[in-house]
Amino acid sequence: MNKTALITGATSGIGKATAELFAEHGMHLILCGRRQKRLDELRITLGAKTKIYTLNFDVRDKAAVANAIDSLPDEFSNIDILINNAGNAHGLDTIDEGNLEDWDAMLDINVKGLLYISKAIIPQMVSKKAGHIINIGSTAGKEVYPRGNVYCASKHAVDAINQGMRIDLNAHGIRVGAVNPGLVETEFSNVRFKGDEARADTVYKGFQALLAEDIADIIHFVVTRRRHVNIADLVVMPTAQASSTIINKKL
């Protein structure tokens, strides 16, 4: 029987690439995002390969999250895999110049949004004593870099939640793990720099960054291991990257 995976932040970047790869392998998909047009496009393109259901909501809205999950038809109500991918970075200011709205956005999406989705889905996994949760973190959750302050704090929180979730759900046979990418060329920097494409492009110039498809491939590998195998915490960076601040732009 084909498994059903729910992916948040499915309309771009890592979430979209993961949805596309899962569809190639016949997984049934619940794709979540804020952009209805993109969700509609995915339903059409991937619907030819597998069963698709889309949910349009903002992970920051806990009532909307609960209502969306409660609205799932019976055919999609049994979720085997949860990919907590939705997340954003806003701004790159020093702590003294930080924007409060940016801080709220990062903490609400990266931390609280992940918790709201997990809270809505975990009970069914507990009841059937099975399930697999992948939390998409970041190397920013492993180290702090200049001007990273609150974004790094949000991803450190994801790291802690991932560990706590794995401990608490161990008794129920639920697998929990994190994939923590370094520099991945997606819309991430465009969002961080609030639409300044020229500035965003400079982030990836001079070296080969990871691609969303690279991370999707890793996520697929993680969720297709045999039942007794749980990849608990995986860090992946492009070859040119040694840390958040050391990047070899001569490669």
Question: CA 164 to CA 161: how far, in whole Å?
Answer: 5
Please give the single-letter amino acid code of residue 239: T
Catalytic residue among 53, 116, 151, 204: 151
173 φ/ψ angles, rounded to the nearest 5 degrees: 75, 20
Question: Residue 53 catalytic?
Answer: no
- The residue count for the chain: 251
Rounded CA separation 10/21 (Å): 12
Q: How far apart are CA 89 and CA 183, in angstroms?
A: 13
Question: What's the half-sphere exposure (Cβ side, CA atoms, 13 Å) at 61?
Answer: 11
Please enumerate, as own/partner, the contacts of 88-94 that have beta carbons within 8 Å and a separation of 24 or more: 88/188, 88/191, 88/192, 89/151, 89/188, 89/191, 89/192, 90/151, 90/191, 90/192, 90/194, 91/192, 91/194, 92/147, 92/148, 92/192, 92/193, 93/147, 94/146, 94/147, 94/149
Report the amino acid identity of residue 206: G
Q: Which residues are catalytic?
A: 151
